[in-house]
């Protein structure tokens, strides 16, 4: 048990998939896992452990933003001996050619905050995903014939910014925006574990194209299926 997770140590698998929304964790667990058990409901941050193709996997909500995923991923890596965490989330696209429903494998994340410095004593603004996990995602996606895009994500602290960030996006070579991966990657580096982040594009900030909740649900599942295959490799 930790301050934020009530699961017993043996109730959490070595690989954890983390959607932001705890209800999405529930949906994924109920759709894909066998012998599913709810192992955490502190703060309604639902975590489920079950088996996929006979191998134990945990699906756990992360909440929104670096502070939230920072807490859960830290506790999972350091108090539950988790080896791999794959965030499975949504992102906004900063580029016309990166379209809604595209699947994006984050190679590195640019953080707005000083989370990486404070949590892991890393001075860089840009933090890399775990190479092993990142490469395995690419391999599995190719085997499944699912096209992934890859590059640098903006791990933003502010959803509703006051200013135009066109120049900032160009200068920092940012493809997409989400709000969690930099904290997850920094925690993994400090714990000497593996972290990756798979995203489905839910909105395009250039073309203003958006997705409906129902469409999102269906298209998210491609990304989930890649992550599950990676989890049992
Ligand atoms: N996740 C999905 N769309 C996003 C956006 N526009 N900004 C930040 N995070 C997001």
CA dist., res. 219 & res. 4, Å (int): 30
> What distance in angstroms lies between residue 17's CA and the mean position of ligand 1's atoms?
19
Q: Are 76 and 187 in contact (CB under 8 A)?
A: no
ipTM of the complex: 0.96
Q: Is the pTM of this model over 0.80?
A: yes
The closest of 29, 83, 105, 14 to 61, measured between CA atoms, is 29
Residue 152, SS3 per DSSP: strand
124 classed as catalytic? no
170, two tokens: 């160009």
- pLDDT attached to residue 133: 98
> What distance in angstroms lies between residue 60's CA and the mean position of ligand 1's atoms?
20
> What distance in angstroms lies between residue 159's CA and the mean position of ligand 1's atoms?
7
Q: Is the CB of 156 under 6 A from ligand 1?
A: yes
Q: Is the CB of 58 under 6 A from ligand 1?
A: no
By alpha-carbon position, which residue is closest to atom 4 of ligand 1?
A: 92
Mean pLDDT by 10 residues, the chain (233 residues): 96 98 96 98 98 98 98 98 98 97 97 97 98 98 97 98 97 98 98 98 95 78 96 96
Q: Is the CB of 202 under 6 A from ligand 1?
A: yes
Q: Is the CB of 56 under 6 A from ligand 1?
A: no
């Amino acid at each position: 048990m930790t301050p934020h997770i009530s699961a017993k140590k043996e109730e959490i698998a070595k690989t954890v998939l983390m959607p932001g929304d705890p209800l999405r964790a529930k949906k994924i667990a109920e759709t894909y896992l066998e012998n599913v058990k709810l192992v955490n409901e502190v703060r309604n941050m639902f975590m489920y452990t079950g088996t996929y193709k006979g191998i134990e996997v945990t699906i756990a909500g992360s909440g929104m933003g670096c502070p939230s995923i920072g807490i859960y991923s830290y506790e999972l890596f350091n108090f539950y001996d988790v080896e791999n965490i794959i965030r499975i989330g949504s992102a906004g696209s900063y580029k016309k050619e990166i379209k809604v429903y595209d699947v994006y494998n984050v190679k590195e994340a640019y953080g707005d905050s000083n989370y990486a410095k404070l949590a892991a004593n890393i001075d860089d603004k840009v933090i890399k995903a775990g190479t092993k996990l990142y490469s395995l995602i690419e391999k599995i996606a190719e085997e499944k014939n699912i096209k992934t895009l890859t590059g640098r994500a903006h791990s933003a602290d502010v959803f509703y910014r006051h200013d135009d960030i066109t120049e900032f996006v160009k200068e920092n070579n940012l493809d997409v925006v989400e709000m969690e991966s930099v904290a997850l990657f920094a925690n993994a580096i400090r714990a000497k574990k593996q972290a990756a982040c798979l995203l489905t594009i839910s909105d395009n900030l250039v073309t203003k194209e958006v997705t409906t909740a129902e469409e999102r649900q269906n298209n998210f599942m491609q990304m989930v299926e890649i992550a599950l295959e990676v989890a049992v490799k």
